[in-house]
């Protein structure tokens, strides 16, 4: 039998946490034969709720779940973890300036970076979900220099999956037959959901999404805005954020990273990189990647048309500004 893997979820008493921890305990993230020990971190005001989640995990009697650590102590939470899913953060409240929210999150990610660096397992893989996800991940990278930068990523898989979902609905085909959309850039409304290289499996072989949709107006307009603004649409409908789909895509992100992407398929991940596609280096930016043996590689050489170029640059500019804002909060 395999040794259990310790998986950290921060913000585990929150909405996404509540959807995510049972998925991990069922093997959705690391596979049906991989036992896990869950480490759940939250802050003292949420300690009681966190303990409630722990009680439910016990009650669910998950066969793969070999232990639960529920704590408000960041050191205890980080000790020995091989996977860290960072969902905890400070939400933007009404009337708050962007800088104030950034400053709270920079402080959180700086201190959690140090705890991970000192106490997590060597080679721990980190996924940042909490917003601003790319910039939180960048701060985490800066303050955990001994963790390989290849091991620090942020979640844009939800946006990727949303794009697959929109194409599937539009063409009335199963979502599993659609692949190779790309989310470029920031997990924000400047992200660029790109279908120029996406394909659909048909009885006559793989066909480009562009050819099947045959409606550039939709592809350049409503498709992009729907994906960019889907998070807000769900908050409006549910009065709560998109926790189920965020949790599910966090599992997809880690699963593909650890177990590999299928042959011929890429996924989108926010990663630290060195200047691919002429995007300025020094950011955590979402790219198309393939994964093998626990290592991601950016898909190279895709042709980028003029319209796409502008959108890649626009979202890079926003990330550069966010980075500057984050750094100004540090000083």
Q: Does 155 bind ligand NAI (CB under 6 A)?
A: yes
Task: Give whole-number Cα distances, 88 to 36, 220, 228, 260, 331, in Å.
Answer: 20, 34, 22, 27, 23
Q: Which stretch binds ligand NAI (CB under 6 A): 57-65, 209-217, 235-243, 255-263?
A: 235-243
Asked whether the beta carbons of 193 and 224 are under 8 A apart, the reply is: yes
Q: Which stretch binds ligand NAI (CB under 6 A): 25-33, 220-228, 241-249, 279-287?
A: 241-249
- Angle, in degrees to the nearest 10, between helices 98-119 and 133-142: 40
Residue nearest to ligand NAI (CB): 14
Give the distance from CA 195 to its chain's centroid. Answer: 20
Near ligand NAI by CB under 6 A: residue from 180, 188, 242, 248? 242
22-59 exposure pattern, b = at least 16 Cβ within 10 A, e = fewer: bebbbbbbbeeebbbbbbbbbeeebeeebeebbeebee
Catalytic annotation present for 253:
no
Task: Give whole-number Cα distances, 82 to 23, 63, 74, 124, 258, in Å.
Answer: 17, 20, 15, 4, 11
* 282 marked as binding residue: no
Q: Both tokens of residue 331?
A: 């000083």
Q: Does 108 bind ligand NAI (CB under 6 A)?
A: yes
- Rounded Cα–Cα distance for residues 327 and 331 (Å): 7
Near ligand NAI by CB under 6 A: residue from 5, 9, 11, 283? 11
Q: Which stretch binds ligand NAI (CB under 6 A): 144-152, 221-229, 240-248, 288-296?
A: 240-248
Q: Which stretch binds ligand NAI (CB under 6 A): 1-9, 56-64, 125-133, 319-327?
A: 125-133
Q: Which is nearer to ligand NAI, 130 or 279 (CB)?
A: 130
Q: Which residues pair with 184 in a beta bridge?
A: 192
* Residue 19 beta carbon to ligand NAI: minimum distance, rounded to whole angstroms: 8
Q: Which is nearer to ligand NAI, 53 or 147 (CB)?
A: 53
Half-sphere exposure of 298 (CA within 13 A, CB side): 21
Near ligand NAI by CB under 6 A: residue from 63, 67, 91, 221? 91
Q: Which is nearer to ligand NAI, 200 or 257 (CB)?
A: 257
Query: Could you say which of 39, 160, 187, 197 is catalytic?
Result: 187
Near ligand NAI by CB under 6 A: residue from 25, 27, 57, 89? 89
| Residues 32-61, mask of contacts with ligand NAI (x by CB under 6 A) | ---------xxx--x---------------
Q: Does 243 bind ligand NAI (CB under 6 A)?
A: yes
Near ligand NAI by CB under 6 A: residue from 129, 209, 224, 254? 129
- Rounded Cα–Cα distance for residues 223 and 289 (Å): 22
Task: Give whole-number Cα distances, 161 to 93, 133, 165, in Å.
Answer: 27, 17, 6
| Residues 294-323, mask of contacts with ligand NAI (x by CB under 6 A) | ------------------------------
Q: Annotated active-site positions, please?
A: 187
Per CB under 6 A, residues contacting ligand NAI are 10-11, 13-17, 41-43, 46, 87-91, 108, 129-131, 133, 155, 158, 187, 241-243, 246
């Amino acid at each position: 039998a395999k040794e259990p893997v310790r998986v950290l979820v921060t913000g585990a008493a929150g909405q996404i946490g509540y959807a995510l921890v049972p998925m991990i305990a069922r093997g959705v993230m690391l596979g049906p034969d991989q036992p896990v020990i869950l480490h759940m971190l939250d802050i003292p005001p949420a300690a009681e709720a966190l303990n409630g989640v722990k009680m439910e995990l016990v009650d669910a009697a998950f066969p793969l779940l070999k232990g639960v650590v529920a704590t408000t102590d960041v050191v205890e939470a980080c000790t020995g973890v091989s996977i860290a899913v960072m969902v905890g953060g400070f939400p933007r409240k009404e009337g708050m300036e962007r800088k104030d929210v950034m400053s709270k999150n920079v402080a959180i990610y700086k201190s959690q970076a140090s705890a991970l660096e000192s106490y997590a397992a060597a080679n721990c893989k980190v996924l940042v979900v909490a917003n601003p996800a790319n910039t939180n991940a960048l701060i985490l990278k800066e303050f955990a220099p001994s963790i390989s930068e290849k091991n620090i990523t942020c979640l844009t898989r939800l946006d990727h999956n949303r794009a697959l979902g929109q194409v599937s609905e539009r063409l009335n085909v199963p979502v599993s037959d659609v692949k190779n959309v790309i989310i470029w850039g920031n997990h924000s409304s400047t992200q660029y959901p790109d279908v120029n290289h996406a394909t659909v499996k048909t009885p006559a072989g793989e066909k480009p999404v562009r050819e099947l949709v045959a409606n550039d107006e939709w592809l350049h307009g409503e498709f992009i805005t729907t994906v960019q603004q889907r998070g807000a649409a769900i908050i409006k409908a549910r009065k709560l954020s998109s926790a189920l789909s965020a949790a599910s895509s966090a599992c997809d992100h880690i699963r593909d990273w650890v177990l590999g992407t299928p042959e011929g398929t890429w996924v989108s991940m926010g990663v630290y990189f060195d200047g691919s596609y002429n995007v300025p280096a020094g950011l955590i930016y979402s790219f198309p990647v393939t994964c093998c043996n626990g290592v991601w590689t950016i898909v190279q050489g895709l042709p980028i048309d003029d319209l796409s170029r502008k959108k890649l640059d626009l979202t890079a500019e926003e990330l550069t500004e966010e980075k500057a804002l984050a750094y100004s909060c540090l000083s």
